[in-house]
Amino acid sequence: MSITVENISKNFSGFQALDDVNLSFPEGQLTALLGPSGSGKTTLLRIIAGLESSDAGRILFGDEDVSHQHVRDRNVGFVFQHYALFKHMTVKENIAFGLESLPRRQRPPKQEIRQRVEKLLEMIQLPDLANRYPTQLSGGQKQRVALARALATKPRILLLDEPFGALDAKVRKDLRRWLRALHDEFHFTSIFVTHDQEEALELSDQVVVMSQGQVEQVNEPAALYARPESRFVFDFLGHVNVLEGSLKNQKLTQGDAWVSLPSVQGDREAQLYMRPHEVQLARSPSAHARLPLRIESVSLIGSEVRIELQPEGWHSNELWEVGMSHNEFARQAPARGDLWYAVPDIGHLFTDAGSQPRTVDWHYPTTATAHP
């Protein structure tokens, strides 16, 4: 079941939560609504569910306009961040609740309800906990039960609001992997809200980045990370190193720092964005850049060494971050307080407000093109 959002707007006492939002959610895909608090993602999810009404626009499930349908008629499964399990009911009673609450003509026979609950308990890998109460479960177990309860009525669409936000990092990672496997098996159309960039990029087929009630960008995770179309998306999707300065004679300069930008014409203020993996470190400046940085910290945790650096003789709003392999770290032995130089491989140049970035690749120095 595909979902189409057309011209949806919502205002709360003068606060514009959503402003003319248009989106398509493909059938069978898992889509993430990603953005900071107040961006409108939860409001949009609740409007799709029927828990909130919009001021303008409409919601389509397939070709059916459900904008004015009551929530109980939309056949949508909803999973909340804080589980919303009934404390006085056992696990199996919680899962069966939605089925047993259906109108008599739609309610399955008791035997079918029991069989469906047993199947769901197997699916969430908690068959031995059927008679426990929510207070006897861990956070991860509660969220699995909440998901099983949402799936019990065989909804056309599954909506999840920060489903793993209340869990610790390891449990969240395990549940993300489990939910992805579950989705791949059953192919239901799902939308989940998150402010966690890693979660959105790892779990979803499509990511919708939202800001101030509007859609900033929609794309597949890998393409979104590789080709952000605005400063906001760049800043929100992980760490980014930024050089702000004056562009003149194909060179961007600030203080003691400069970067050569072949084939970029014009004199103006500009910002060059570079992901940590798009920059290397060297003991001396390169032919195309002089970016002196002093090492602030070195972290050896993870698959690569993360090095944080403070600009030397120029200014940046945040520390720079560069990754280095463990083998390279052992060979070069960079230490806190050392002066190094950043050597950019690829950069993304913003010049005019609202414009898309132009990508500069110093391996092919004659190119500087806008993203398609």
* Residue closest to 149 by CA, chosen among 93, 89, 74: 93
**Which of 27-41, 73-87, 354-368 has the weakest average pLDDT?**
354-368
pLDDT at 220: 95
Q: Which helix (H) or strand (E) segment is 215 a member of?
A: strand 214-219
Count other C-beta atoms under 10 Å from residue 45's C-beta: 20
Determine whether 328 is exposed, middle or buried from the number of CB atoms within 10 Å of its CB (0-12, 13-18, 19+): middle
pLDDT at residue 370 greater than cutoff 50: no
Q: Would you place residue 353 in the very low, low, confident or very high pLDDT band (cuts 50, 70, 90)?
A: low
Q: What is the pLDDT of residue 366?
A: 44
User: What's the confidence (pLDDT) of residue 371?
Assistant: 42
Position 83 scores a pLDDT of: 67
Residue ranges covered by each domain of the chain:
3-228, 239-370
Q: Check residue 166 and give its pLDDT.
A: 63
- Mean of the pLDDT values across residues 170-194? 83
State mean pLDDT over 195-200.
87
Query: Alpha-carbon distance 209 to 318, whole Å?
Result: 22
Cα distance from N-terminal residue to C-terminal residue, the chain: 30
What is the rounded average pLDDT of the residues 296-321? 92
pLDDT at position 247 is 92
Q: Which residue did the predictor score with more confidence, 71 or 171?
A: 71
Asked whether the predicted pLDDT for residue 308 surpasses 90, the reply is yes
> Is the predicted pLDDT of residue 372 greater than 50, yes or no?
no
CATH class of 3-228: alpha beta
CA distance 35 to 199: 12
The predicted model gives 329-344 an average pLDDT of 94
368 pLDDT band, cuts 50/70/90, is very low
Helix/strand number for the chain, H first, E second: 9, 23
At 335 the pLDDT is 94
CA distances (Å), origin 267, targets 250, 256, 324:
8, 19, 34
- Mean pLDDT score, 85-95: 91
Mean pLDDT across 352-358:
76
Interval 246-265: pLDDT, tens: 999 999 999 999 999 987 88
What would the mean pLDDT of 211-220 be, rounded to a whole number? 95
The pLDDT score that the predictor gives to residue 152 is 85
Both structure tokens of 229? 């179309």
Lowest-pLDDT range of 35-44, 84-93, 99-108? 99-108
- pLDDT beyond 70 at 367: no
Mean pLDDT to the nearest integer, 2-31: 94
What pLDDT shows up at residue 181?
83
Name the least confident of 37-46, 132-141, 333-342. 132-141
With a cut of 80, say whether residue 128 has pLDDT above it. Answer: yes
What is the length of the chain? 372
Torsion from C-alpha of 91, 194, 62, 104, nearest 10 degrees = 20
CATH topology of domain 239-370: OB fold (Dihydrolipoamide Acetyltransferase, E2P) (2.40.50)
The residue-averaged pLDDT of 62-70 equals 92
Mean pLDDT of 7-14: 94
Q: Above 70 in pLDDT, residue 174?
A: yes
Indicate if the pLDDT at residue 307 is higher than 70: yes
Structure pTM? 0.81
pLDDT above 80 for 130: yes
